[in-house]
């Protein structure tokens, strides 16, 4: 079954404690991205990756890092989380064909930073 | 910064009614997509429109891309409770960037 898997689904952490949210896809997609979803603000792109070892900033990259060492995985790293990073996070992957970047989304990670 | 504004933000209607959701921008997009998201889940792609003026139908849902590729609409005929959810439009900006709209939360009452 084609899917994007995020872990963990729920996470409560304290300010400043480094954390990683993992994302893995089994569709051999080149393109992967991370979003955060906040009430009234919709989905905002944090980082994206066009292929292995190629990443770029989205609209809200501050406070986040990513890496793409292998095609299937695209972890999101928060080196020093702060309460304003409390949000619902989604990973997505796409095949970079013509037309739209039809995205397959993971089920989300709800992060609370206290 | 490119923005995609959706209207209305919230919509509560009775089963069987028709509705239209709008997605507007001052920017041109090379393609536009519509997603539906249910609570606790990630967005699921409904359709992609690429050509200005394009109309696509998915059962009771009709999607249209504006002639200038700056706006889109989603029309639902005879809405059903199963249509309840958050509808999101997303525009492709450049080669790899996505811009998402703020969403329209639809509730269809039985």
Q: Does B79 touch chain A (CB under 8 A)?
A: no
Q: Which residue of B has its CA nearest to A108?
A: B42
Chain B residue closest in CA terms to A51: B96
Interchain pair B96, A45: CB under 8 A: no
pLDDT tops 90 at residue B35: yes
Q: What is the mean pLDDT of chain A?
A: 93
So what's the pLDDT on residue B2? Answer: 65
The band of B1, judged by pLDDT with boundaries at 50, 70 and 90, is low
- Residue A99's pLDDT is 54
Q: Tell me: pLDDT of A100 over 70.
A: no
Q: What's the farthest any 2 CA atoms get from each other in chain B?
A: 42
pLDDT of residue A102: 76
Average pLDDT over residues A1-27: 96
Q: What is the mean pLDDT of chain B?
A: 92
Cα A25 to Cα B26: distance, rounded to the nearest angstrom: 34
Decide if pLDDT at A96 tops 80: no
Percent pLDDT > 70 in chain A is 95
Q: Between chains, do A101 and B96 touch, taking CB under 8 Å as contact?
A: yes
Would you mind telling me the total number of residues written for chain A in this entry? 114
Residue in chain B closest to A43 (alpha carbons) equals: B100
- Quick count: other Cβ atoms within 10 Å of Cβ A49? 21
CA distances from A77 to A46, A61, A64, B10 (A): 11, 11, 6, 34
Q: Which residues of A touch B90 (CB under 8 A)?
A: 43, 103
Quick check: A40 and B100 CB within 8 A? no
pLDDT digits (tens, 9 = 90+) for A35-80: 999 988 889 999 999 899 999 999 899 999 999 999 999 999 999 9
Tokens of B82: 């199963």
Give the whole-angstrom CA distance, residue B88 versus residue B26.
Answer: 17
Taking residues B27-55, what's their average pLDDT? 92
CA distance A93 to A39: 23
Interface of A to B at Cβ within 8 Å reads 4, 31, 33, 35, 40-45, 48, 50, 56, 58-59, 90, 92, 96, 99-108
Pairwise CB contact (< 8 Å): B40 & A107: yes
């Amino acid at each position: 079954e084609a899917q994007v898997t995020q872990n963990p689904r729920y996470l409560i952490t304290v300010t400043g404690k480094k954390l990683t949210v993992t994302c893995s896809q089994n569709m051999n997609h080149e393109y992967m991205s991370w979003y955060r979803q906040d009430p009234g603000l919709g989905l905002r792109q944090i980082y994206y990756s066009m292929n292995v070892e190629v990443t770029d900033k989205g609209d809200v990259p501050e406070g986040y890092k990513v890496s793409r060492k292998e095609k299937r995985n695209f972890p999101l790293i928060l080196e020093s989380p702060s309460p304003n990073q409390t949000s619902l996070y989604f990973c997505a992957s796409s095949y970079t064909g013509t037309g739209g970047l039809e995205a397959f989304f993971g089920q989300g990670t709800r992060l609370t930073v206290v | 910064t490119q923005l995609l504004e959706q209207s209305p933000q919230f919509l509560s209607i009775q089963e069987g009614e028709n509705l239209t959701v709008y997605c507007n921008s001052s920017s041109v997009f090379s393609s536009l997509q519509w997603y539906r998201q249910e609570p606790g889940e990630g967005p699921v792609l409904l359709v992609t429109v690429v050509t200005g003026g394009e109309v696509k139908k998915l059962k009771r849902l009709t999607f249209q891309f504006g002639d200038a590729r700056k706006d889109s609409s989603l029309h639902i005929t005879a809405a059903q409770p199963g249509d309840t959810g958050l509808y999101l439009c997303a525009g492709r900006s450049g080669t790899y960037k996505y811009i998402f709209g703020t969403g329209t939360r639809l509730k269809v009452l039985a």
